[in-house]
Structure 1
Amino acid sequence: MTAMTPCLDRPGFLPRLSSHHQARARLCEPLLASAARVRLICAPAGSGKSALLTECLLQAPAQCSLHWIALAGATISRGEFSQRLTQALGLIATDEAGLLAALARWSQPTWLFIDDYCRQPDPALDAWLDRLLAISGPALIWWIGTRRRPQCNWPRLLLDDELYECEAATLALTQSEIAQVLHHLPAEQALSVAGRIGQRTGGWCAGVRMALLQKCDWAQSNQPQQRVDTLLDYLQHELFSSLSPELAEAWRVLAHLPRFNNELCEHLFGAGDGAQLLRALQSLGCFIEPWQDSAEWLQVFPPLTRVIQESRWPQGRSWHRRACQWFTAREDWRSAFEQALLAEEFEVAVSLLQHFTFEHLFDDQTVVLLLRLHEQQGEELTLGSPQLVGLITAALLFAGRFDQAAASIEHMSRFVPQPSAQKQRQWLARWQALQGWLLHLQGRMAPAREHFRQALAELASDAWPARLLCLSGQTQQALLCGELELAHGINREALCLARAQGSLLFEGLLELDHAQLLEQRGAPARADDLLASTQELLCQREHRPVPLLGRIALRRGRLALCMGDEARAAEWFQRGLEDCLRSHDKRVLYGFLGLAQLAANQQDYAQAFVRLRDAERLMQQRQIPDTVYRGVLLQVSSQFWLQQGRAELAHEALSRVLRHFHGPHARQAPPATLELIPRLEYLLFTARAQIQPSLIDLAEIQQALSGAQQKGMLSLEAELHLVLAQLAWHKGEVSLAQRALQQGQALVVRCQLQQSLLEWRLRHPDTALIRAAAELCAETPAVAAEALLSRREVEVLKLIAQGESNQKIAEQLYISLHTVKTHARRINAKLSVERRTQAVAKAKVLGLC
């Protein structure tokens, strides 16, 4: 990381930075600004400790004396350390007592850097360092870089404000810091590539550097073999060479486990030895960190585990078998199942599935493991009971493998007749629930609806998971038909049942339906608040439900995009994309679509279409039917083509795809794209208007607008008002155009639908109507504020103005106290105030109450 070079204006040898160094001001500035006497940087190999110390050294005050001691992690004695210290500080040779006395009366401003402190535990040396730190005067500032945290009295220094410690996690390079190195790429592409590098390397400095050395195409998913070999060689020299054979073997075992703790280590490596080995690895800085912020569980740094697990290791099966035994004894069925698969004990793995419920599918990697087992062992082993059929079918439906799911459902015929008429009816109801979901996802609404209805009529109370799935399917079908009140009623029934059963996972799944309902009603902020609360609760679980969190992240990305918060949308889309890729969720499609939309907002259509091609390629690689993705891909592509002025191409694509959603054999839109068909239709109107304005039929768009108004679909209504304004303008009906534009913009402001307005403007740049839209945006503050607040928020604000408490407001409006607080918080944000009194004062000025 650094090299030693003479410093002309200061004595001794000081380091220099590599030509590839990436400055980290966010770390240097707090270190330099600290008043602490001791500044400690403790982190594993390759974290950039030496470079960070050097960066700080080069910014030292001119009057400060600098001294650098490069220990290179070597094992040295207490006497050798004292000698190195004495020479560095320019002291006359003295004994330990003399050194302590000299440090105690040190008065010249001095920075002393100790780089790569002794890596092996040495109690005598650590005790001596502790004494030196305690006795030295305030003029001497200690800068210590180390892989191993020395056994010093750090709490005392911390309480005396004499210690500043740079946390190891903060040393990881951020996406923006990596992007700065990719200066040869366009800014947007550099940020995208940096994100992929950061995701694979965790921002680990050495890993990022190795990745950049490969000069590979980071749009591809495969890691170059050269980088893997380089990393293994690096680990051999920087990690394994300093470990005993026993510790090195233990580290390899732990690197093959998703998580571990003291008890598991005791089981694997022997009672009394396992916990000791783990503590030794931790103390040596061997890339061991908390697992998902857990206080009990640990993991090896994930970018390293991926490489280690890909390398051939014949002894691994026996260790996985032992881990499986331990997890089974603890009744941690999912972890035991995973270890049985890794041990290639497939019959054991299948036997463990008898303990699984539908909720286990939400655990990280469960779907992927089930798919792997099904692929490797086939029908004979994995479809031996109705419960196994249900699990495998659910995993296949989740991943979008509908043909295989249909074949799996057919195997339920093996288990009839059942011993009694009651069991036969329950078996048939469960079959109908699975069949209903298959038909629903295939876009065959009518038969799916009938299956859901019949299943709900028969399912017993103990079959509540199947009931909840049927109710969720019915909710989505009502949303697809624009029956918002019906959808709301079904969703409330389902949520009550999930809460009665204490199932937070099902509640989260159903809240996704609720959020879609709120979005259609023009309340994206409420939907985002709802999902934020749900996400917070789910993240408190010991096992993070990654598949469900991935879907929530994608939906929050869409909501942020809808409200015009592109930075937050990009963050959520990227997070959701990564989680859905990891869990093989077919809805990963919407991560690509969201990132494509963000690129199009910046008119970077090349990057936008790259995202769409990436999405299509992944869907094809994972054998997902084109009914899942083709329609929405063509809708988004047509939207981009219209923004580029390629109306003929958009018209052809929209006409072709709409044929699949019209006629006697029409399919429903995919559940995640509730407004797909209306959007396809109004984009087709727009394309026709650009090609031949004389053929515009305003009656069609007015009829669609009337339908959206009757159903209370405010989001769609706002978009249709804007489309009507543009079409009427083309027809020369200026008055109608202006009226529609005013109504559309009022809804955009009130419902926070900035993305709809932006897309409309990008489709029609530099027209007189756009200029009129800009003039309307400059309306009076009272009108803008009134449009900004929803009807319910105005009601809450008026009661606040009357001096009512939150509890009284909740009682009068028949809403929860939490909802009142949410409304109040949102009112303050919209009116740009911080307190209730300020909100009331501003509302009175604007004439709102």
Structure 2
Amino acid sequence: MKAFDNYPAANDEGLAERTEKGRLVWDLLRHRVQSPRPGADIFPRPALTERICKAIEPGSILHIEAPAGYGKSRELESALLSSGRELSRVRWVSLQDQDNDPQRLFMLLSLALGVSDADFDSVPVPGRGQSLNDGLEWLLANLANSGEATEVLVLDRVDRVQSQDGTALLTQLLDRLPPGLALVLLSRQALSFETHSYELGGRFTRLTADTLELSRSETAAFYQPLLERQQVTQIAVEHLYHLTEGWLTPLALYRLEVEERGEDRLPVQEARSVVAFLRSAVTAELTPAQGRSLAVMAEMDVVSDDLFLAIADSQCDTSFLPSTAMARGLPLRSAGNRGRWFRLLPLVREWLLSTTLAGRKARATLASDWFAREGQFTEALRYALQCHDTERAIRVASEGSEALLIGQDTASLLRLRQSLPAELIQRSPRLQIVYAWVHALGGQFAEACALIDGMSAEDQRLLQGRLSALRAFLLSGEGNVRAALKEADQALATDDLSTHARLVAQLVRSGAWCALGRFADARSASREASKLARQAGDPGAEILTVYAHARIEMSKGALRHAEQLLRTGLDTSVSEPARPPRVGEGRLMLNLALILWHQGRAAEVDRLLTRFIRHAEKGRDLALLLALALRALLSKSQGQVEEAFAWIGQAERTMQAWQVDELVYVPVLEALKTSCWLAQGQLESARQAMVRLAPFRKQHRVLELFPMMPGLLDTLETRVALVAGDESAAIGQLQEQYSKEELTRHPYIHQLHVVLLQAQAHQRLGQSETALMFFQQALEMAAPEHYISPFIELREEIREVAREGLAGRQPGPLVDALRTLFQLEAEASARPPAVDLPEPISDREFGVLELIAMGLSNQEIADRLHISLHTVKTHARRINAKLGVRSRTQAIVKARELGLL
């Protein structure tokens, strides 16, 4: 390292001279060393605050890296304030470009590390063999011996320091960090020096935008005041979340905009304050050529460096690549599962696309040609459509339609369908079969049948094998499993059947045998499908075979094995770069969410569904129906029945918009509605729903996405009978199901429901010993795989028998989870004896009543119980009705008179 006197400080003659100018610079820099100030209106994020606090330990290094607007500084300030530290011993320095000068940086570090004005002259004199790193070594040693030392040093915008000598000083600071000092680095982009050695040493923590962004639930909570005042709707908040992906500053600015402008507000990408922020955070520091490069990137859904170079025009800065933009700290992200591909944050992309650049059609043509050369027909088709070149689109369709289908990219095929002349499809048997498959994957079975039935007799004869495979798939999708088996066998008997058609036929057979409870036959067909997928060298087909195998294990109740299969399949798919999302991959993700739901892992389910729903909406994947059904079940399990109905409504609107056949979605949604009405005690509505479900029960269809449906409809009928007080009818229905030899062939979830309902029914009849026997059986069935979802679904109905059945049991994962689910410890110590009322107060209502008596407001109760304000008000109205009062005060008085409080 060079001596001090070889580094003249900015606007100074050097520390070595001890000049007045040196003292002046010292005084100027002193004002840049601050302590955190209490912030106003910080959105509480306790989990993130706790994580930051844990990372700010003496001797540790915390790096928070995210583009502008993610709340790095505010979250850090919040954590520092909540940690109880003396803020006078926290030093905060915001670095600037001028701080690349090493002497200037050294002076800032001296001030931040506690060198006072009086100690200015005691800083080691440069020259005489002394160097800057010698000086920093002295400072750090002096800090370790100081009783009033700085405890936390925050270097904000540390990425501005790029010079070799400045970086050397920072590296030395990290290497020689005193044990009593915690160092926090804030940056918008990656650091200019390596940190892996500190990570391996266990004293370095990195938090990125993924950690700082608001989750879906946090976004809803952030907009809760506006939701309560009906200034925005839940759908609007969901849209905001999808656009911003939890980017805090745009969300906060738009919330202010809504509060100020109300119904006159603009879309978030056009809102004045948001646009101003985007200009300052995204394009302010770019040259015009770089800004144009970024706008060209926005025209692509995803973009790589090579693709950008293929479409960039002469006005672009071709050295400003997508990878460069991401490294600069701009809001780009890696495109999932696509290697070195990138995507702009949706809000930024929408904002950039609001100004149309000249030559967009020509760039779409170049993009289409580039993807065609790469053999990526999906993307080639997408941009052929964007440049409105019908001939090009038809050429792509004729050359790559089957490749697109094998690649499971139905979204692009559907878009192409809208642009292709109808007469072209009618003249081409090949396209008729392709689009029959597409409609079948989208649940439009009637439309698929119309396409192939319209083929000439000669074409049907020539394509007999392929048509049999397709008909088998259609029958399987409609739930006609026995007919599907027969058609699949006919397809496999055809000599000239393609490998992929044989694979589909075997997958149909596997699913059909699984639905019939013939698991050995199902596994045999699944193994044959796996062999065909490997022979074809098609990773997408292999994913489908993993899905088929996992479905068999799920039906048997082997949740852990199924989870392992699904995670392995997802890991395999992630390892494949540069490919579009596939139907099979979505099935893996969704069935993993279903397993997690069965095991009560709600937070993981929420994250998976958020990813999957975006993917499914783009690809018009019928599996979106199952995803939205899980969303409804999650909401219902949390006591938010109105929100569950909202998800059911969204599913119904989507299925109708996609023109999905009613037989696919109506029974699913009616069953969900029945479950929600039972939770609300609306017996008549539940009965009417069962009447509407009667035709579907008679057909006994086993839908591919909902193999549990026939059993679920049977148990719903039993539940309605129990709620109506008709225990004898319920017992009869259950005995009929329970005594059947084929009960074990039903999906495991149906078996668990039957056993739990047996326990409830016998408990209602006063047959406690029999009820406890069945409850014990349910526990033994559920414990090995932690199969808790049936207990969650029937929580209110089996509460009484669960309280008795869990009393005195040894702790264990399932028993402990069920005690938490039924709130047994709290009830045992806090709940007073039951009081005879015309209609008893439920456990959830009793919890609300207690908090009302404590003087909490409705909003405070909602926050305490983690439920919506609307739900609290509903509980309060029901409490008043059951107690026969009209106000909160009267309710408290009456409850005390009855001994409830």
TM-score with structure 2 setting the length: 0.71
Distance 2:631 2:326 in 1: 39
- Aligned pair partner of 1:285 in 329, 334, 350: 329
Q: Note if 1:619 corresponds to 2:655.
A: yes
Counterpart residue number, 1:66: 91
Q: What is the SS of the residue equivalent to 1:762? A: coil
Q: Note if 1:262 corresponds to 2:262.
A: no
Note the C-alpha offset of 1:427. Answer: 1.0
- Aligned pair partner of 2:474 in 438, 462, 469: 438
Distance 1:409 1:730, change over 3 A: same
Q: What is the SS of the residue equivalent to 2:284? A: helix
Counterpart residue number, 1:720: 754
Q: Note if 1:778 corresponds to 2:821.
A: no
Amino acid at match of 1:21: I
Counterpart residue number, 1:460: 496
Contact 1:68/1:114 (<8 A) preserved: yes
Distance 1:75 1:206, change over 3 A: farther
Distance 1:34 1:200, change over 3 A: farther
Q: Note if 1:51 corresponds to 2:74.
A: yes
Counterpart residue number, 1:319: 363
- Aligned pair partner of 2:392 in 328, 336, 348: 348
Counterpart residue number, 1:831: none
Counterpart residue number, 2:793: 759
Q: What is the SS of the residue equivalent to 2:349? A: helix
Note the C-alpha offset of 1:534. Answer: 1.9
Counterpart residue number, 2:721: 688
Amino acid at match of 1:305: R
Note the C-alpha offset of 1:430. Answer: 1.6
Contact 1:350/1:381 (<8 A) preserved: no
Counterpart residue number, 2:782: 748
Counterpart residue number, 1:823: none
Distance 2:680 2:418 in 1: 44
Distance 1:43 1:724, change over 3 A: closer
Alignment of 1:373-412 (within 5 A): 373-380=416-423, 385-410=428-453, 412=455
Distance 1:234 1:709, change over 3 A: same
Q: What is the SS of the residue equivalent to 2:796? A: helix
Moved more, 98-107 or 463-472: 98-107
Contact 1:350/1:382 (<8 A) preserved: no
Amino acid at match of 1:431: L
Distance 2:190 2:783 in 1: 55
Alignment of 1:674-713 (within 5 A): 674-691=707-724, 693=726, 696=729, 698-707=731-740, 709=742, 711-713=744-746
Distance 1:566 1:83, change over 3 A: closer
Contact 1:709/1:717 (<8 A) preserved: no
Distance 1:444 1:314, change over 3 A: farther
Note the C-alpha offset of 1:670. Answer: 2.3
Counterpart residue number, 1:471: 506
Note the C-alpha offset of 1:248. Answer: 1.0
Counterpart residue number, 1:545: 581
Note the C-alpha offset of 1:376. Answer: 3.4
Moved more, 733-742 or 384-393: 733-742
Note the C-alpha offset of 1:694. Answer: 7.1
Q: Note if 1:32 corresponds to 2:46.
A: no
Q: Note if 1:650 corresponds to 2:682.
A: no
Moved more, 609-618 or 310-319: 310-319
Note the C-alpha offset of 1:317. Answer: 1.7
Segments of 5+ residues of structure 2 without an aligned counterpart are 1-29, 144-148, 817-901
Amino acid at match of 1:257: M
Distance 1:720 1:53 in 2: 52
Distance 1:357 1:425, change over 3 A: same
Once the two structures are superposed, what CA deviation does each residue of 1:19-77 show, in whole Å capped at 9, x if it has no partner?
A: 243464256335522636x8655432223344356557767656647363464x78998
Note the C-alpha offset of 1:538. Answer: 1.9
Contact 2:670/2:689 (<8 A) preserved: yes
Amino acid at match of 2:726: P
Q: Note if 1:237 corresponds to 2:280.
A: yes
Contact 1:487/1:517 (<8 A) preserved: yes
Contact 1:50/1:116 (<8 A) preserved: no
Note the C-alpha offset of 1:492. Answer: 3.4
Note the C-alpha offset of 1:552. Answer: 2.0
Q: Note if 1:517 corresponds to 2:552.
A: yes
Distance 1:669 1:164 in 2: 50
Distance 1:315 1:53, change over 3 A: farther
Note the C-alpha offset of 1:241. Answer: 2.9
Counterpart residue number, 1:127: 164
Amino acid at match of 1:478: W
- Aligned pair partner of 1:19 in 33, 36, 40: 40
Distance 1:438 1:161 in 2: 56
Counterpart residue number, 1:308: 352
- Aligned pair partner of 1:338 in 352, 363, 382: 382
Identity %: 21
For the aligned residue pairs, the C-alpha RMSD in angstroms reads: 4.5
Distance 1:84 1:397 in 2: 67
Counterpart residue number, 2:864: none
Once the two structures are superposed, what CA deviation does each residue of 1:310-354 show, in whole Å capped at 9, x if it has no partner?
A: 654443222222222222222233222222222223322332234
Distance 2:196 2:762 in 1: 73
Counterpart residue number, 2:634: 598
Contact 1:516/1:527 (<8 A) preserved: yes
Alignment of 1:169-318 (within 5 A): 169-174=210-215, 178=219, 181-182=222-223, 184=225, 198-213=241-256, 215=258, 225-230=267-272, 231-269=274-312, 274-275=318-319, 277-278=321-322, 281-292=325-336, 296-309=340-353, 312-318=356-362
Distance 2:688 2:554 in 1: 30
Alignment of 1:447-596 (within 5 A): 448-458=484-494, 460-461=496-497, 463-542=498-577, 543=579, 545-596=581-632
Q: What is the SS of the residue equivalent to 1:763? A: coil
Contact 2:269/2:347 (<8 A) preserved: no
Contact 1:435/1:451 (<8 A) preserved: yes
Once the two structures are superposed, what CA deviation does each residue of 1:70-116 show, in whole Å capped at 9, x if it has no partner?
A: 64x78998898789889987777999979947655433545765544
Note the C-alpha offset of 1:745. Answer: 4.2
Once the two structures are superposed, what CA deviation does each residue of 1:714-748 show, in whole Å capped at 9, x if it has no partner?
A: 54333223334444555677776555454444333
Distance 2:326 2:519 in 1: 55
Distance 1:288 1:211 in 2: 21
Distance 1:557 1:142 in 2: 39
Amino acid at match of 1:721: V
Q: What is the SS of the residue equivalent to 1:33? A: coil
Distance 2:276 2:478 in 1: 49
Note the C-alpha offset of 1:242. Answer: 1.9
Contact 1:175/1:191 (<8 A) preserved: no
Contact 1:260/1:299 (<8 A) preserved: yes
Distance 1:165 1:734 in 2: 56
Q: What is the SS of the residue equivalent to 1:66? A: strand
Distance 1:672 1:214, change over 3 A: farther
Once the two structures are superposed, what CA deviation does each residue of 1:448-478 show, in whole Å capped at 9, x if it has no partner?
A: 55433332222525x1212222232333333
Note the C-alpha offset of 1:631. Answer: 0.8
Count of aligned residue pairs for this structure pair: 748
Q: What is the SS of the residue equivalent to 1:68? A: strand
Contact 2:36/2:90 (<8 A) preserved: no
Contact 1:550/1:577 (<8 A) preserved: no
